[in-house]
Amino acid sequence: MSDLADAAPAGSGWTTAQPGRASIRPRSGSLAGQAVPWLVAAAILAGAPLVLTSGTALTMMSLMGIMIVFALSYNMLLGQTGLLSFGHAVYYGLGAFFTVHAMTVVAQNRLPVPLPVMPLVGGLAGLVFGLAFGAISTRRAGTVFAMISLGIAELVSSGSNILRSFFGGEEGITTNRTKMLRVLDLNFGPQIQVYYLIAAWCLLCALLMYGITRTPLGRLCNAVRENPERVEFLGYEPQSVRIAAFSLSALFAGIAGSLAAINFEIANSAYLGVHQSGVVLLAAFIGGIGHFVGPVVGAVVVTLLQVSLSDLTEIWQLYFGLLFIAIVMFAPGGIAGLALMHGPLLRAGTAHRLVPAYLLALVPFLALTAGLVALIEMAFRLLVKAGEGSAMTLAGLPVDAATPLPWLVTGAMALGGGLALRAVRPRVAAAWDEAAAAAKEARP
């Protein structure tokens, strides 16, 4: 699912190379082979509630489904077309608001419309506003586009405070998802029914978005990302390509917003705020913007972190930000990028050579992370929670943050871990080179 080429260095000279008779077309794989990942995804979505039966798990999986659609739609911009947006939640939020209004209208007038088609309303809202705002913001990419997206986001979210009759002011607007036309005797009261609704839309949207990457538009998006000027000299207007990508991505963001509106039965100004735009950017980037599956991974990880970290610590957003900076600095390919890097080595069967080096790096890495977390938590305790005393527990151990010992221990862990990590870095790099070289030899 990668749009990057095989990474093999160029070797023999161009002038002496003889074109072979064999077909040079990239292998696209059989239809059955392409279907396998999707069947697996469908099985996971369908089977997950049977394994994870708790209410919390169901709620979390519903959120993940929504976030997957949202993050994938975001990556149509950032990963595929190279457009960094700080205002993608505008389309998510507008999708949610229009869906809530539409649901209320349907329920009040007893229109024969069932709940499962309501995301189309959000999609349409996203598309219309995407076309309008896309037309004025896609003239240029890069920094200017990013700033304009931020400006439009501020405009819309401040505007929502003025147009109270539509956006409902601070409280937002609510609706009731059970008052719609029933099909198959589903009233969508229980969360499990909503989950399957979200899961079905999630799979459909992911399939469509993947499909788009394989169309002329999808390929041109990549070309525009790489070199918009050259695209012009090929006879395509980069701005048209960007507008198309932008509005389609807004469409899917609108669907995600609809799903959120159905899930929570409410839409408020937080849906279209800059914070929500930041979350989707974080999710897509942490997962990895270079691969189609990246944002899926990111959506799952970020939702998991949001829900579980916020239970564990009050300053989870700080860790969230630090994780993001670490990914930007050390792994710009995101989690998916890191994982898929190992694909060729796994196929060639040389990946096991990395294990000793990775284990060696794991120890200082854990020490560094644990040390930093402990330092931050103790500082938080002393600075913000001073009223509750300096006694606290770290990883189950009782600790008094007002005494020097825990500071010395955790400080030493962080510093020692950092220095040791630096020291083993060449070993890991050497192991990687060796495994990669062996993988190349193993290839026919």
Partner 1 sequence: MSPPAIALAGLTKSFGPARIINGVDLTVPVGERHAIIGPNGAGKSTLFHLISGRFAPTSGTIRLEGTDITGWKPAAINRAGLARSFQVTNIFPKLTVWENVRCAVLRAMGYRPLFWRSVEALPGVAERTEEILRSIRLGHRASLAAGLLAYAEQRALEIGIAIASDARVILLDEPMAGMSHSESEHATQLIREVTSGRTLLMVEHDMAVVFGLADRISVLVYGRIIATDTPERIRENRAVQEAYLGVAAA
Partner 2 sequence: MLELVIVSTLNGVLYGMLLFLMASGLTLIFSMMGVLNFAHASFYMLGAFFGYQISRFTGFWVALVAAPVLVGGLGALVERYGLRNVHRHGHVPELLFTFGLAYVIEEVVQMVWGKLPVDYRAPAILDFPAFTIFGTNYPAYKLFMLVISVAIFLCLLAALTRTRVGLIIQAALTHPNMVAMLGHDVPKVFMLVFGVGTGLAAVAGVIAGPALVTQANMAGLLGPILFVVVVVGGLGSLTGAFAASLLIGLVQTFAISLDVSAASLFQALGIAAAPSGGVLGDLWNVTIAQIGPIIPYILLVLVLIARPTGLLGNREA
Q: Which residues bind partner 1 (CB under 8 A)?
A: 3-10, 13-15, 17, 19-20, 23-26, 28, 211-212, 214-220, 222-223, 226-227, 229-237, 240-241, 244, 248
7 binds partner 2 (CB under 8 A): no
Residue with tokens 């004025």: 136
d(CA 261, CA 103): 10
SS3 13: coil
338 binds partner 2 (CB under 8 A): no
x/- mask, partner 2, residues 99-138, rule CB under 8 A, reads: -------------------------------------xx-
SS3 21: coil
Q: What is the CA radius of gyration of the chain?
A: 25
Report the sign of the C-alpha dihedral through residues 124, 125, 129, 130, in that order. Answer: negative
Query: What residue type is assigned to position 33 of the chain?
Result: G
Structure tokens at 245: 């990508």
Picked from partner 1, partner 2, none, the partner binding residue 152 (CB below 5 to 8 A depending on kind) is: partner 2
CB of 39 to partner 2, least distance (A): 35
Residue with tokens 């990942």: 37
Query: What residue type is assigned to position 238 of the chain?
Result: P
Picked from partner 1, partner 2, none, the partner binding residue 231 (CB below 5 to 8 A depending on kind) is: partner 1
CB of 142 to partner 2, least distance (A): 6
CB 96 within 8 A of CB 260: yes
Instruction: Please identify which residue in 358, 365, 380, 432 interacts with partner 2, judged by CB under 8 A.
Output: 380
366 binds partner 2 (CB under 8 A): no
411 binds partner 2 (CB under 8 A): no
430 binds partner 2 (CB under 8 A): no
CB of 98 to partner 2, least distance (A): 13
Q: How many CB atoms neighbour CB 274 within 10 A?
A: 15
143 binds partner 2 (CB under 8 A): yes
Instruction: Please identify which residue in 8, 32, 51, 329 interacts with partner 2, judged by CB under 8 A.
Output: 329
Q: Which is nearer to partner 2, 196 or 285 (CB)?
A: 285
x/- mask, partner 2, residues 49-88, rule CB under 8 A, reads: -----------------------------x---x-x-x--
Stretch that binds partner 2, among 3-11, 90-98, 302-310, 328-336 (CB under 8 A): 328-336
User: What is 104-164 written as a DSSP string?
Assistant: HHHHHHT-S-BGGGTHHHHHHHHHHHHHHHHHHH-SS-HHHHHHHHHHHHHHHHHHHHH-H
Overall size of the chain counted in residues = 444
d(CA 260, CA 268): 11
Q: How many CB atoms neighbour CB 400 within 10 A?
A: 14
For 173, list phi and psi in degrees, rounded to 5: -125, 150
Interacting residues with partner 2 (CB under 8 A): 78, 82, 84, 86, 136-137, 139-140, 142-144, 146-148, 150-152, 154-155, 158-159, 162-166, 274, 278, 281, 285, 315, 317-318, 320-322, 324-325, 328-329, 332, 379-380, 383-384
